[in-house]
Amino acid sequence: MPEALVLINTDVGAEEEVLSQVRSINGVKEVYIVYGVYDLYTRIEANTVEDLKNIISTKIRRLPKVRSTITMVIVSSSMKSNNVGKEWS
């Protein structure tokens, strides 16, 4: 199952609004407001690479208060669990 991490920049003060919109998108598994260069950290899963591309290109990037995104497609993972605080194998 294809996965990607998407870092999102929003308009100033729009973080909560964009978080709410992104959270409602089918395929979004995690979304967090973060401090730093980007405003939101998002993890997405899809059935196909084409579906993944569609979620990012047509659903996230086109939200009105999204200024920019960086996408990192996950090619492999060595985590034992998706639980925060767990050790890497």
- Tokens standing for residue 39: 């405003």
CATH number at residue 52: 3.30.70.920
Is 83 domain-assigned? no
The verdict on residue 84 lying in a domain is no
Domain count, the chain: 1
Q: Which domain holds residue 49?
A: 3-74
10 phi, psi to nearest 5 deg:
-115, 170
Per-residue tens of pLDDT for the chain, all 89 residues: 899 999 999 999 999 999 999 999 999 999 999 999 999 999 999 999 999 999 999 999 999 999 999 999 999 877 655 555 444 44
CB 7 within 8 A of CB 38: yes
User: Which pTM value belongs to this model?
Assistant: 0.83
In a domain? residue 70: yes
Distances (CA, A) of 82 to 13, 26, 79: 30, 19, 7
Would residue 18 count as lying in a domain? yes
Q: Is residue 58 in some structural domain?
A: yes
